[in-house]
Amino acid sequence: MTYKEKVQNEIKEEKLRNLWQEICESYEQGGVEQIKSTLNSRIGKIKKDYEKLLENLEKMI
């Protein structure tokens, strides 16, 4: 069994399975840096949305 399958078998939640899938694809595509980049682009978008929301809330104050 490959590392991918071994980890996959241990995952119970669907959500985690998808994340693992995404991480594996990134790793196969571009190694360590690609994993970093994939996770950063995900979190970066959230951060941007969050900052915009905070800006709006700031205006309410």
Partner 1 sequence: MLKIKKVEIEGFRGFTQKTSIEFDNPVTLLYGGNHQGKSSVLNAIEWCLYGDECIGEKSGIRERVGIGEMAWRVVNDNSEKAQVKLKIEGEQGIFTITRAEAKGKGKKGKSIKISLPDGTEKKADETDQEIARLIRVSFKDFATTVYQHQETIHDFVMQKPSEQSDVMDRLLGLSDYRNILDGIKKSDVLKVQKELTEEFNKLQIRVQETIYIRQKDLDDKRGKAKEKGLSEEELNENKLLELAKSTIKDTTDFARLLGLTTTAISPPSDWKNTESFINEIKKECNRLWAESPEVKEQSEKQKKRSEMLSLKNQYESQHKHFKSKKKELQDFERENGNKDEIDNKLRKAFEEIEAIDEEIKQTSPKAKLIEEGISILESAAPSDAEICPLCGEKVSNLLEHLRKDWEEKIKAQVKELKKRQTELDKKKTDFERLKREHVRLDEDTQREKERLKEAINNISEFLNKELGVRDDPTAILYIEIKKIDSRLKEIEDAIKSKQSKIDAILEKTNIMNLLYDVLLLKDKLEKINQIQRTDEYQTQEKIRTDVSNLVRDVEELSKIIKSCMLKEAEEKIDSARSAIDYYFRRITNNPAFQKFNIKVEEDKRTGVNFYIFEDQDGKRPVPVLSQGDLNSLALSIFLGLAKTSGDSHPLGFVLMDDSSQSLDSQQKTRLVEILNELSNIKNIIVSTMDTDMQQLLKDNITKVKTIYKLSDWAPDSGPKISKEI
CA 14, distance to chain mean position in Å, is 14
Contact set for partner 1, span 17-56 (CB under 8 A): 19-20, 23-24, 26-28, 31-36, 38-40, 42-44, 46-47, 49-51, 53-54, 56
The residue among 24, 50, 49 whose CA lies nearest residue 38 is: 24
Beta-strand runs (E) in the chain: none
Q: Which two tokens stand for residue 52?
A: 């915009």
List residues near partner 1 by CB under 8 A.
Answer: 2-4, 6-7, 10-11, 15-16, 19-20, 23-24, 26-28, 31-36, 38-40, 42-44, 46-47, 49-51, 53-54, 56-58, 60-61
